[in-house]
């Protein structure tokens, strides 16, 4: 009898799944191009990870994967024993951690401020201006930043002193890069939090207002708890990509003085891999970033579940 009941439950679940898929058939059809793009550009290139276990030089490009020399984990050993690996790892982690904290806090704060604006035209203009830098090339952003931050730049002129923001071979460069990146992305990152805030029941605000809660109290006790799930999901995803600091901003904002604190793993892989024609070495670094990112993602997801928060998977 129990087996029969279990079979009936499975049948109902299967029937419900097919019924739901048929009901959402148009949405599923719309997702097909994205799935195809994902397979072509995200999953098929994973075949290239085989180069991490091979000695791949330009002369071996004409050879098939089975004709190239397999070297096992030699490329990983070479990467981990490189004198630049651990300083580069520290730069990557510190820059990424600063960006994660300051970027998230800034985006949430900016979204809360926009949500509290009552002049809709001013709100729309402010939001539009804030996310425009997201669409601007890092070449232009870096040029603008250097005009302000270089020795003798706009900030030095305003304060009538040498701040040495871009010529100090110290962790100060991490802060500078993070600040520029926050300025570039804060408006764009705030969009998802604004969407979450728009989904909060307005009746809660009205009830709190009747009870005498001021604007700050409404933000603290209603707005922030209302977007907690969104913040958790975004944080989990961000932790998974903590080693994927883009090298474009590091290369464009750095100079010979601060390069020791500007080098990150992606730039290190480019320099040692493509720059030295050692493609197996570069692939090994990229694979290391991806594997560690997956592990961190799973750990963050597990911790979120243990804390009673919404899990990503």
Q: What is the pLDDT of residues 37-46, one digit of tens each?
A: 999 988 888 8
In sequence order, the 6+-apart residues with CB closer than 8 A to the CB of 182 are 99, 102, 103, 106
Instruction: Calculate what percentage of the chain has a pLDDT beyond 70.
Output: 93
Other residues' Cβ atoms within 10 Å of the Cβ of residue 267: 22
Structure tokens, 59: 């002369």
Q: In the predicted model, is pLDDT for residue 17 greater than 80?
A: no
Same domain, 148 and 296: yes
Same domain, 84 and 138: yes
Q: In the predicted model, is pLDDT for residue 47 greater than 60?
A: yes
Q: What is the pLDDT of residues 110-157, one digit of tens each?
A: 999 998 888 888 888 998 999 899 999 999 999 999 999 888 888 888
Same domain, 249 and 105: yes
Instruction: Calculate what percentage of the chain has a pLDDT beyond 90.
Output: 47
Instruction: Give domain status of residue 88, yes or no.
Output: yes
Same domain, 19 and 124: no
Confirm if 253 and 262 have CB atoms less than 8 A apart: yes
9-31: b (≥16 Cβ within 10 Å) or e? eeeeeeeeeeeeeeeeeeeeeee
- Count of domains forming the chain: 2
Cα 164 from Cα 179, distance rounded (Å): 15
Higher pLDDT, 12 or 253: 253
Calculate mean pLDDT across residues 7-32: 75
Confirm if 311 and 305 have CB atoms less than 8 A apart: yes
Q: 313 pLDDT band (50/70/90 cuts)?
A: low
Which range marks the domain in which residue 291 is found?
Answer: 74-306
Instruction: Give domain status of residue 172, yes or no.
Output: yes
Q: Which pLDDT value is given to residue 5?
A: 60
Calculate mean pLDDT across residues 73-95: 93
Q: Which pLDDT value is given to residue 2?
A: 46
Same domain, 7 and 141: no
Same domain, 115 and 24: no
Q: What is the pLDDT of residues 163-180, one digit of tens each?
A: 888 888 889 999 999 999
Q: 67 pLDDT band (50/70/90 cuts)?
A: confident
Calculate mean pLDDT across residues 213-235: 91
């Amino acid at each position: 009898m129990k087996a029969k009941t279990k079979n009936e439950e499975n049948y109902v679940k299967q029937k419900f799944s097919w019924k739901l898929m048929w009901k959402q058939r148009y949405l599923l059809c719309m997702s097909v191009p994205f799935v195809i793009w994902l397979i072509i550009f995200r999953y098929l290139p994973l075949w290239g990870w085989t180069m991490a276990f091979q000695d791949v030089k330009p002369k071996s490009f004409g050879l098939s994967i089975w004709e190239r020399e397999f070297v096992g984990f030699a490329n990983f050993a070479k990467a981990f024993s490189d004198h630049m690996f651990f300083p580069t790892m520290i730069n990557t982690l510190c820059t990424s951690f600063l960006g994660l904290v300051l970027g998230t806090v800034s985006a949430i704060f900016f979204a809360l401020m926009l949500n509290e604006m009552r002049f809709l035209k001013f709100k729309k203009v402010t939001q539009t201006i804030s996310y425009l830098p997201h669409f601007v090339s890092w070449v232009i952003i870096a040029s603008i930043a250097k005009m302000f931050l270089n020795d003798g730049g706009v900030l030095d002129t305003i304060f009538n002193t040498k701040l040495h923001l871009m010529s100090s071979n110290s962790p100060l460069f991490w802060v500078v890069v993070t600040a520029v990146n926050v300025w570039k992305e804060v408006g764009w990152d705030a969009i998802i939090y604004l969407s979450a805030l728009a989904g909060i029941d307005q009746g809660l605000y009205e009830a709190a207002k009747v009870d005498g809660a001021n604007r700050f109290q409404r933000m603290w006790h209603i707005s922030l708890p209302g977007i907690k799930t969104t913040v958790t999901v975004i944080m989990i995803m961000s932790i998974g990509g903590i080693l994927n600091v883009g090298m474009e901003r590091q290369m464009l904002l750095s100079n010979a003085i601060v390069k020791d604190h500007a080098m990150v793993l992606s730039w290190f892989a480019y320099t040692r891999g493509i720059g030295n024609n050692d493609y197996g070495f570069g692939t090994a670094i990229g694979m290391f970033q991806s594997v560690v990112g997956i592990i961190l993602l799973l750990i963050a997801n597990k911790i979120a579940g243990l804390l009673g928060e919404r899990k990503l998977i």
